[in-house]
Amino acid sequence: MAEPKYKLTLCDGTACVHNHSKELRLAIEEQLEKHGLTDAVTILLSGCLGMCSKGPILVVNPGYIIYGNVQVADVTEIVESHLVGNKAVTRLIIQQDSLYNRFFRIFGDARFFGRQMRICLRNCGIIDPENIDDYLALRGYEALAMALEKMTPQQVIDEVKKSGLRGRGGAGFSTGLKWELTAREPGDEKYVICNADEGDPGAFMDRSAIEGDPHTVLEGMIIAGYAVGASKGIIYIRAEYPLAIKRLDKAIDAAHEHGLLGPNILGSDFSFDLEIRLGAGAFVCGEETALIHSIEGSRGMPRPRPPYPSVSGLFGKPTLINNVETWANIPVILLDGADWFSTIGTETSKGTKVFALAGKVHNTGLVEVPMGMTLREIIYDIGGGIPNGREFKAVQTGGPSGGCLPKQYLDTQIDYDSLAKAGSIMGSGGMIVIDEDSCMVALARFFIEFTQDESCGKCTPCREGTKRMYDILTRITEGKGQPGDIEKLERLGEMIKRASLCGLGQSAPNPVLSTIANFREEYEEHISSKKCRAGQCTALLSFTVNEKCVGCGACKRVCPVAAVEGARKEKHRILQERCIRCGQCFTVCKFDAITRA
Amino acid sequence: MLTPLQTIRKKRAAAVSRIIAKGYLATRRVYVGMATCEIAAGSREVMDVFRHAIDDGLTDVYLSQKGCAGRCNLEPTVEVIEEGNIPVKYGRVSPQRAREIVERHLKKGEVITEWMI
C-alpha cells in the first residue's frame, strides 16, 4: 500500500468520546469514501491529548494542524478543504504555543507514541541535550523568567499547589504543599535538592530524563529556589550515571554563562546556584533523610521523621527535596498553566507518569502516559503485548517496594490511590511484565535479596527481618520449604512493615506479601508438592525420558555430567542421582522426549 | 534595563539564530540517539558514520544528537526529518545500516521502509 497522504489522529480520551468523537469518526469515514480517499488517509485513535475542554480534537498530519470542538457538521468542510484542497480550515484550528505534546508530529508515527502524553519527557529524543540553544529555542527558561518578573514566591507555590502535582519519587506527597512547608520556615539559608538517586532494578526514567533534557530539571529547581527562598541547590546523583553527570555539568556551565544561575539571575535580585553531589549507588540513599546524611558526608542512613527535611534538613536547615520527574514538570505547569495541568489525570492524581516498561513485553522502553490509563492499555496497546505467544501472568510496579498484580487487576487505573488499593504502589515508575514462565516465589526472592542487600543495617526489623525472609524464600525455592512457612513470611512481613525506620524497610516485604496474596497456590505447590509450575526453580524439577525417544543420542552428548545412558536407537534413561537439572537435554531434544516436571 | 522576560526572549532569538547558523535550515536534519542506552547499543559508531559522510562531502544535512525517546528495544535510533515530509525514524541502526542510509536515503532520497519503526 502506498504511503497515505494524510494521517488523522482522533482523540479517544474519555472526555472526547463523551463529546461524540465516535460519531465524528463515522462521519469522517463516510466523507473519505465519498471522495475516494479511503486509501490516502489513515485514521489513528490516540489517548487523551490533554485538550479536553476543546474536544473532540482532530489532528491532521503532516503539518500537525489541531482542530478543536469539531462537530459532525464540520467534517465535510475539513475533508473537502483540507484533505482534498490542501487548505486548512482556519476557523477550527486551536494551535497553541504549549510545551506538552508539541512534538506529537515527530513522535506520532508509531503506535508506541500515539497513546502517550509527554510532559516531563517533552524534549527527550528531540533536542540536543548538550546544547542550551536547543532548550532556549523551545521556550526554555521562560517559565523562570515569568516567575521572576510576574509572580511572587507565594503565587508560584499557589500555582504548583493548584496543579495537583504529587511527588513522582514514589510516595506521592503533594508537591505544592511540600514547597509551602519549606517556604514557611524562617531563615534565609535553605536548600533545594534534586533526588536523582534512582535505584530500583530495571528503572531508568530519571537517567533518561536527565540525559535527554537536563535543563528542564535545572529550571524547575531554580524556580523552586525562588519560591521557597533558597539560594543553593544540590543535585544528588549516583556516580554510575557518568553520561547524565556530564550533561548536567555542561548544562550548569551553560546556565552560568547565560546568567541563569549565579548572582542576580536574569537581572533580577534573586541569586541561586547549583552543584552536583555524587552518590555511591546505595539504594537507601534515595530515602530523603539518608540522602541528606550522604550529602553531609556521613554514612547514608535514615533517621526518624519528624522533623521533616522541610523543617530541618541539610545541615539542619529547611530543605526541599523533589525527584527528577517532579522538577521536570514545573516549567510546563507555569507556562501552560495549572488549570490545564489539572485537567489531565484522575481526581486525585494529576498529570502524567513516566514508566520504564520492561520484562516480557514486545516494546520495552520509556513511556509517559496520563494518569488514569489502565495497566492493560500500557501493556497491550503501548507495550504491544506478551511476546512468543505466552500468557500474561502479572505486572510488577514500584520495584522492590511495590507489588505484583495478577490478571484480574489489568483494568486498574494508574494513579497513586488505585494502585495502592490493588495492593501495589506507583513507586518511581518501574513496570515489569511477567509471563507464565516466571516463578512468583523466585521473583519475590529476587526482590528481597535486593532489599536485604541494600538494607543499611540501622534498624533491626529491616536488617534481620529481610534476611530471615530471604532464608525462608530460598529454602522454599530449593524444595526444602516447610508447612507454616507462608504464615511465617506473612507474620514477618507485617512486622517489618510496621517496625522499620524508613521507607526501605516499611516497603521491603511488599513483593513477598503481594505475591502471597495473589499467587498463594504457587507457594503451596512449592512447599507441599515440591513443584514449580513455571519451571524456574531448578531444584524442584526432574527430567525423565518419555516414550517419544528415538535414541538419537543428542541429550547424551550435551549432558555435562554424563547422567544420560542408553544404546543408540534405543530409549535413553536419565540417572536421577547424577542429574544436576541443568535442563540442557530438555532444550536440545527435537522429539519432545524429555519430560520436565 | 531589560526585565527577565525580555532578557529570555532576547536569548531565545539569539539561540535560534545560532542554531540556524549551524545549518538547521538544511533540507534534511539527521538526529542520532545518544543516551547511555543508545551508546551501549552502538550509536557512537553510527554517529561517526554520518560525521564522516559529511566530512567526505555530503551536503545539505544538519546532524545533531538527541536523548532517549524511549524505544529501548529498537535502539540505536536515527531520525531523518525533511521539511514537508513525515519524519522517518529508523530502528536498530548498525554502522552498516547507517552507511546505507547515507547512500540510499540522504544521497538518493529513497526511504528504506523495512528499517522504519
Concatenated DSSP letters of A457-518: SSSHHHHHHHHHHHHHHHHHHTT---TTHHHHHHHHHHHHHHH-SSHHHHHTTHHHHHHHHH
What residue ranges do the domains of chain A occupy? 6-96, 132-340, 352-435, 440-529, 541-596
Tens digits of residue pLDDT in A166-180? 998 878 899 999 999
Q: Which candidate, A401, A506, A505, places its Cα nearest to that of A463?
A: A505
Mean pLDDT of the A232-238 span: 96
CB atoms within 10 A of CB A438: 21
- pLDDT for residue A96: 55
CATH class of A6-96: alpha beta
Mean pLDDT of the A315-332 span: 95
| Rounded distance between C-alpha atoms, residue A175 and residue A531, angstroms | 47
- pLDDT for residue A139: 86
- pLDDT for residue A2: 47
Q: Provide the β-strand partners of residue A166.
A: A174
pLDDT of A108 over the 50 cut:
no
- pLDDT for residue A175: 96
Tens digits of residue pLDDT in B44-79? 999 999 999 999 988 888 899 988 877 878 889 998
> Which of A264-273, A333-342, A580-589 ranks highest by mean pLDDT?
A264-273
Q: Which candidate, A34, A93, A99, A26, places its Cα nearest to that of A65?
A: A93
| Rounded distance between C-alpha atoms, residue A466 and residue A453, angstroms | 9
Judging contacts by C-beta atoms under 8 Å, the chain B residues touching residue A133 are 15-16, 18-19
Tens digits of residue pLDDT in A518-538? 999 999 999 999 989 888 888
Residue B4 to residue A106, Cβ atoms within 8 A: no
A276 is written with which cell numbers?
552536583
Q: How confident is the model at residue A82 (pLDDT cuts 50, 70, 90)?
A: confident
- Predicted ipTM of the assembly: 0.89
| Rounded distance between C-alpha atoms, residue A447 and residue A402, angstroms | 10
Delineate the domains of chain B, giving CATH numbers in brackets.
Answer: 27-115 (3.40.30.10)
pLDDT of A587 over the 80 cut:
yes
Average per-residue pLDDT in chain A? 89
A89 is written with which cell numbers?
480550515
- Burial class for B95, CB neighbours closer than 10 Å (0-12, 13-18, 19+): middle
- Please say whether the beta carbons of A393 and A475 come within 8 A: no
Pick the CATH number of A541-596 from 1.20.20.10, 3.40.50.1220, 3.30.70.20, 3.40.50.300: 3.30.70.20
Query: Please, which residues 71-100 of chain B have a Cβ atom closer than 8 Å to chain A?
Result: 71-73, 77, 79, 81, 84-87, 89
| Rounded distance between C-alpha atoms, residue A585 and residue A574, angstroms | 10
Q: What is the DSSP letter of A110?
A: S
| Rounded distance between C-alpha atoms, residue A540 and residue A531, angstroms | 6
Tens digits of residue pLDDT in A3-36? 567 778 787 777 777 777 788 888 888 888 888 8
Q: How confident is the model at residue A49 (pLDDT cuts 50, 70, 90)?
A: low
pTM: 0.83
Q: How confident is the model at residue A162 (pLDDT cuts 50, 70, 90)?
A: very high
- pLDDT for residue A104: 52
Question: Chain A: nearest CA to B75, how far in angstroms?
Answer: 10
Chain B residue closest in CA terms to A268:
B4
- pLDDT for residue A60: 78
Contacts of A211 (CB under 8 A, 6+ apart): A129, A243, A244, A247, B35, B36, B67, B68
Q: How confident is the model at residue A472 (pLDDT cuts 50, 70, 90)?
A: very high
According to CATH, the superfamily of the domain at A132-340 is NADH-ubiquinone oxidoreductase 51kDa subunit (3.40.50.11540)
Decide yes or no: CATH 1.10.3470.10 for domain A440-529: no
> Which of A156-160, A366-370, A385-389 ranks highest by mean pLDDT?
A156-160
Of the partner residues A62, A123, A146, the one whose CB lies closest to the CB of residue B85:
A62
Residue B67 to residue A213, Cβ atoms within 8 A: yes
Q: Does residue B17 belong to the interface with chain A, where contact is any CB pair within 8 Å?
A: no
Residue B19 to residue A110, Cβ atoms within 8 A: no
> Which of A5-9, A122-126, A271-275 ranks highest by mean pLDDT?
A271-275
pLDDT of A56 over the 90 cut:
no
| DSSP strands (E only) in A336-378 | 352-359, 365-370
- pLDDT for residue B20: 82
DSSP three-state, residue A260? coil
Residue A128 to residue B81, Cβ atoms within 8 A: no
Q: What is the DSSP letter of A93?
A: B
Q: Which candidate, A314, A19, A325, places its Cα nearest to that of A182?
A: A314
Q: Which candidate, B47, B75, B74, B77, places its Cα nearest to that of B61?
A: B47
| Rounded distance between C-alpha atoms, residue A308 and residue A140, angstroms | 32
Q: Which residue has the cell 522541610?
A: A310
pLDDT of A358 over the 80 cut:
yes
- pLDDT for residue A1: 37
Question: Chain B: nearest CA to A211, how far in angstroms?
Answer: 6
A142 is written with which cell numbers?
521562560
If one looks up domain A352-435 in CATH, what number appears?
A: 3.10.20.600
Chain B residue closest in CA terms to A383:
B71
Tens digits of residue pLDDT in A179-230? 999 999 998 899 999 999 988 888 889 999 999 999 999 999 999 999 999 9
- Please say whether the beta carbons of A360 and A387 come within 8 A: yes
Please measure the distance between the N-terminal and C-terminal CA atoms of chain B and give it in whole angstroms.
50
pLDDT of A541 over the 90 cut:
no
Lowest mean pLDDT among A3-12, A79-88, A91-100, A507-516: A91-100
